Structure 1
């Protein structure tokens, strides 16, 4: 089970690198657009593309936040109990996060479905088929739902087995994955 968690972390670390590179590419595009405007040349679309990249980076980046334990949590009650109590609070927090992830993924599917049915294009000069950025965005939410659900199931099994230290290390506020 620890191998699965490590695998999830490796995948999400790779996703974070790709997301970071996408952000750097957007920054470069925006800077280039600004510099070219100063010399009288302008190309449109940098704001549109950066908007799509931000949506994709958000949905995919939240997966990295999950395995890096970077999501905000108020844990003052968790710290008052023993490892069993802490593990139970960790499970509650992860279950809530998994619920939100599955909910978001489920309700994002109709967005892409409507776009595919209507053949919608962006209302800009670029006329980008909206299914392209929405597919990347939706895939991020689906991956977040899968990652959080797998992590929740593994953590429940570990709590049942009484491996509270491993739970603390992997989903608690303690050590690294």
Structure 2
């Protein structure tokens, strides 16, 4: 299922529009993170070529790589959630009745939301501390640390926002007894669903 496409049965109105906006933002951030990694690969190739030809490297590539990896990971978290790619233990999940699976799905979103809130709070402490002290990287680049840290923190904020909206939607669906919708949107993908998704991706590329 395309994360930007509205699944059937989802709430309409302001909550649904907010969810759509977050899904589009998460997809855009993932694409930017992917292009960043591609550009990083090109930069590393240029650095290696310069080292082998003129005996000198560009300088600062390792530092830039660290920034891009950290930002890329945080900017991918929300899209991974929408794609149901975060790791969950499903030892007994698939054998549980639908109502119990729905409750477990809601609890898993809430637990992930608490983890995201902790990450966002910790990230804010890092960003605000660097801003207050005017910290710069201890390298030749002298990068103001608040810039890459703020970009990294932005991914945490979007991840938390996605979880807050989805938690509210999941709780509303659970209260209304919309268990199939909960399973389709937030449940662990079965082997057949993963196979169908892989086949769909291959057909799109063909």
| TM-score > 0.5 by shorter chain | yes
CA distance in 1, matches of 2:88, 2:188: 9
TM-score by length of 1: 0.93
Partner of 1:23: 37
CA-to-partner distance for each residue in 1:63-114, whole Å, 9 max, x for gaps? 1111010001112222222221111011111111111001110121111111
Gaps of 5+ in 2: 1-10, 198-206
CA distance in 1, matches of 2:92, 2:164: 24
Give the aligned CA root-mean-square deviation in angstroms. 1.5
CA-to-partner distance for each residue in 1:105-148, whole Å, 9 max, x for gaps? 01211111110111010000000000100000111111111111
Partner of 1:129: 144
Residues 34-53 of structure 1 mapped to structure 2, 5 A cutoff: 34-40=48-54, 41-53=56-68
116, 119, 137: which one aligns with 2:134:
119
- Counterpart contact for 1:86–1:168, Cα < 8 Å: yes
TM-score by length of 2: 0.81
Gaps of 5+ in 1: none
Counterpart check, 1:145 vs 2:154: no
- Counterpart contact for 1:8–1:67, Cα < 8 Å: no
Count of aligned residue pairs for this structure pair: 176
Runs of 4+ in structure 1 deviating by more than 6 angstroms, as ranges, are none
